[in-house]
A and B are shown apart, each in its own frame.
Chain A
Amino acid sequence: MKARLFAFCALLSLSAPAFAVQPDEILPDAKLEQRARTISADLRCLVCQNQSIDDSDASLAKDLRLLVRERLKAGDSDPQVKDFLVARYGNFILLKPPFEWDTLLLWLSPFAILGLGAAAMFAARRKGEDKPAAPLSEEESARLKSLLGQSPDEGQA
């Protein structure tokens, strides 16, 4: 199924032999166009593999780009444009997943791993800290010296 989807995507790019943003799409207002580009970079081309509509050749991406520009011309703010598209296509269209209950693990786990790792390291250190600190008992140091071939009195200086 997914392979067919990809083939479909490839086909789409065939029928529209151009690439990504085309000259005739560009808005005359440079500021508005810049906003359109920024928004487009965060929106996923729904039939492609992790490509933004700004990068994609697919004709669906082109339709979405035009839609973004239409909304901007109609006076929508950036979040309004995104909300409009999410209402239509769901969160799937956002390349940056929203911070919600079911994405909590996604956003937090890398940092949780860092925190857990640091805690484990700290714990390991605290556990190990007293070990080297324990000095040799008299008996042990005497034995050490005799092993090293010295009498206990020598080397005291």
Chain B
Amino acid sequence: MIVELGHYALVLAFALSIMQTVLPFWGARAHEARLMAVARPVALTQFAFVALSYAALTYAHVASDFSLANVVENSHSTKPLIYKISGVWGNHEGSMMLWVLILTLSGAAMAAFSRAIPPRLLADALSVQGLLCAAFLLFILLTSNPFARLSPAPIEGADLNPILQDPGLAIHPPLLYLGYVGFSIVFSLAAAALIGGRIDAAFARFIRPWTLAAWCFLTLGIAMGSYWAYYTLGWGGFWFWDPVENASLLPWLAGTALLHSAAVMEKREALKIWTIFLAILAFSLSLLGTFLVRSGVLTSVHAFASDPQRGLFILGILVLFIGGALFLFMTRASSLKQGGLFAPISREGALVLNNLLLTASCAAVFVGTLYPLALEAINGDKISVGAPFFNLTFGPLVAPVLLLAPLGQLLSWKRGDLLGAAHRLFFAAVCGLAAMLIFAAINGAPVVAFIGAGVAIYLIVGAFTEIFGRIFPSGLGSSKNAFYRAKGLPLSAWGTAFAHAGLGVTLLGLAATGWGVEKIVAMKQGQTYDVGPYQLEVIGLTSQQGPNYKETLAHMSVRRDGQIVALIQPAKRFFTTRRMATTQAGIVTLNFGQIYVSIADQNESGSLDARLYWKPLVSLIWVGALVMAFGGGLSLSDRRLRVGVARRAAKIPAGAQGAS
């Protein structure tokens, strides 16, 4: 019964999404305020219905209702509760449900928090959002219904893919989807602005909080996915340039470019057309990612099912929205007045350069991901595009961004002083060079590693140089009142500094992978193995029974200078229902570096095949992403830029602003 209610709620949500598409749009054309006003309550109700439907599906999974095909295929009664809940999105139908849940959540959020946006623009934007919801709800109802019943109901389910039975599944997809789908708000607003034909600097202000929020979630989602791959796949890699990973990197790059171009648009009214284009691009790339993953064009752990009908449907959605938005863009963009000229040496000049490089690097990832598919379709040639390609194209395009980021922060708007900015960066550059020398002296080759580490330190110090200059305007001597000056700085300035520094932290972690130590050995009990500065020893092997798997644990000690610093238990799990084995790496973080051990089965001679790694500073890769997202969060909480502030500020008469 609950399942039928969920199914019905989904159908009702679809009906509401049609209402949300048609009524406000019509109202905006007919100047009917009441019709336009329908959009907000409908968006909220639609979200409530999808949430209800989603809750019903979750209930079916938690209660192990094996009369549902979706539950049978992806669940098992002995599966731990957390994987019953997160397992809802660990399959094609459920993950589309999560996608739509977040899509309607975005619509509801836009309806609830965007009172500052002019009613016509909001009506059109919610209408576009409604159309998006309608398309995806229809997709679920017609091709991927999670509520399909099975008769007769089997007694037991087939269990979830063991690789997905991991806390990572509980965190990674929701974060990633919040990022992907969060860009839909920006997309809808851009489309609405193009429909309305009026775009000014205020538009940048409307999209800014949504862009930032989506970007933060996407950053965390990608980082989480990468860490998950790192600890489960068992060979310590964290990024494989797999097409599905690239699909998440594309909107991230476009979103990062958008954040920066929106800043120029807001401050200088320049780059209007470009910002609109990026706003469309960011979500279009999210849609493309969904198509690649969900259509079965690509196969990976992420593609749960492939079915040509689904692929065609998503392709249709893709063509409708990307094509539609680009068509609008082509017909309307030329009529937009391109305002605001600027000098090349200025903050906006630096941001334009940043955009150029980010877009080119985004193109490198895009071409590298899709070219093999296109080539095979055209002349049947099969080629592979892997890490070496991206290192040669993406690498050199992104490297200048890293070098220029601190410089851009130090240039002022309108007319920057390049020499002055370079002078102020002197300290950061010295720190970077010193770090490079120190790293080279201690760790040595490879050259890429210590150069990268030096640049990382320069980037971190450089990120805070601007803030430092504002807190101590005349050197450290002026430390009086420094605290108040620090407190008085806008949070968005802190946000920029932290986000850039986070990038530096990640780069440091990436650079340090060059100094990693790897050993592949057949370990014997009682013998110690040197891995970097540590010694590993197998203490013993034990077996134990988990809820739905059997596992063999290897107990190992990690010593340094004779002292035991940690104990690790790498394991091999065997999932009985699916008859699949997974490796659980034994990991311990020591001084930001990690000892990483994954084991295979025991040999007949009693020795244990194992891969032992010492990965110095590796945890910084993900710590950096956290710092970036933290910076984004700081920026987001800047009082001046919060959602809805424009409305409150507008109510204060111009003369009273100074007093408040």
Q: Which residues of A contact B (CB under 8 A)?
A: 2-3, 5-6, 10, 14, 17-24, 26, 41-42, 44, 49-52, 55, 90-97, 102-103, 105-107, 109-111, 113-114, 117-118, 121, 124-125, 128-129, 131-132
B387 at the A interface (CB under 8 A): yes
In the complex, what residues of B have CB within 8 A of residue A93's CB? 384
Asked, given contacts A10-B580, A121-B352, whether A19 binds B235 with beta carbons under 8 Å apart, the answer is yes
Q: Which of B118-126, B178-186, B293-301, B427-435 forms part of the interface with chain A?
A: B293-301
Contact present for A113 and B363 (CB under 8 Å)? yes
Contact present for B520 and A18 (CB under 8 Å)? no
Q: Name 9 A/B residue pairs within 8 A (Cβ), A-sorted.
A: A14-B580, A19-B583, A19-B598, A20-B235, A23-B609, A49-B242, A52-B386, A107-B389, A132-B341
Contact present for A23 and B371 (CB under 8 Å)? no
Contact present for A97 and B581 (CB under 8 Å)? no
B473 at the A interface (CB under 8 A): no
In the complex, what residues of A have CB within 8 A of residue B397's CB? 110-111, 114
Asked, given contacts A23-B520, A95-B384, A110-B361, whether A49 binds B600 with beta carbons under 8 Å apart, the answer is no
Known: A42-B386, A91-B384. 10 other contacts (CB 8 A): A2-B298, A20-B235, A23-B521, A23-B609, A94-B384, A95-B384, A109-B367, A114-B397, A128-B341, A129-B341
Question: What are the interface flags for B346-378 relative to A under an 8 Å C-beta threshold, 1 for contact and 0 otherwise?
Answer: 000000100011011101100110010001000
Q: Which of A41, A106, A125, A132 has the most CB of B within 10 A?
A: A106
**B611 vs chain A, min Cβ distance (A):** 7
Q: Which of B384, B579, B583 has the most CB of A within 10 A?
A: B384
Taken together as a complex, chains A and B put the C-alpha atoms of A97 and B600 apart, in Å, by: 33
**A62 vs chain B, min Cβ distance (A):** 12
B388 at the A interface (CB under 8 A): yes
**A36 vs chain B, min Cβ distance (A):** 12
Taken together as a complex, chains A and B put the C-alpha atoms of A117 and B361 apart, in Å, by: 12
Q: Given A3, A5, A95, which contacts B385 in the complex, CB threshold below 8 Å?
A: A95
In the complex, what residues of B have CB within 8 A of residue A97's CB? 383-385, 389
Taken together as a complex, chains A and B put the C-alpha atoms of A41 and B387 apart, in Å, by: 9
Q: Given A18, A114, A132, which contacts B600 in the complex, CB threshold below 8 Å?
A: A18
B306 at the A interface (CB under 8 A): yes
Asked, given contacts A50-B241, A110-B397, whether A3 binds B303 with beta carbons under 8 Å apart, the answer is yes
Contact present for B240 and A110 (CB under 8 Å)? no
Contact present for A20 and B242 (CB under 8 Å)? no
Contact present for A106 and B368 (CB under 8 Å)? yes
In the complex, what residues of A have CB within 8 A of residue B389's CB? 95-97, 106-107
Per CB-CB distance, the 9 closest pairs between chain A and chain B, nearest first, are A95-B386, A96-B388, A110-B364, A114-B360, A18-B600, A2-B299, A92-B382, A23-B522, A6-B299
Taken together as a complex, chains A and B put the C-alpha atoms of A111 and B300 apart, in Å, by: 29
